[in-house]
Amino acid sequence: MGDKWIKAGTQLRELRKKTKLSVFKVAKRVHISGNYLSLLERGINAPSDTVLFNLAEFYNVNPAELFNLYDRVTPPSNEQLIAMPSLKKIITEISIDSRLSPEEKEEFAKRVYDIANDLINKG
Average pLDDT, whole number, for the chain? 86
Give the CA distances from residue 96 to residues 21, 26, 63, 67, in Å, rounded to whole numbers and listed in that order: 34, 30, 19, 14
| Cα–Cα distance measured from residue 77 to residue 113, given in angstroms and rounded to the nearest whole number | 10
Q: pLDDT tens-digit profile of 34-54?
A: 999 999 999 999 998 889 989
What's the pTM value of the predicted model, to 2 decimals?
Answer: 0.68
pLDDT at residue 1 above 80? Answer: no
pLDDT of residue 75: 72
The CATH homologous superfamily of the domain defined by 2-69: lambda repressor-like DNA-binding domains (1.10.260.40)
HSE-up (13 A, CA, CB side) for residue 85 = 0
Q: pLDDT tens-digit profile of 49-98?
A: 889 989 999 999 988 899 889 988 777 666 777 777 787 778 778 878 88
pLDDT at residue 120 above 80? Answer: no
pLDDT at residue 29 above 80? Answer: yes
Largest CA distance in the chain: 47
Task: Enumerate the domain spans of the chain.
Answer: 2-69, 78-122
pLDDT at residue 123 above 70? Answer: no
| Cα–Cα distance measured from residue 115 to residue 99, given in angstroms and rounded to the nearest whole number | 22
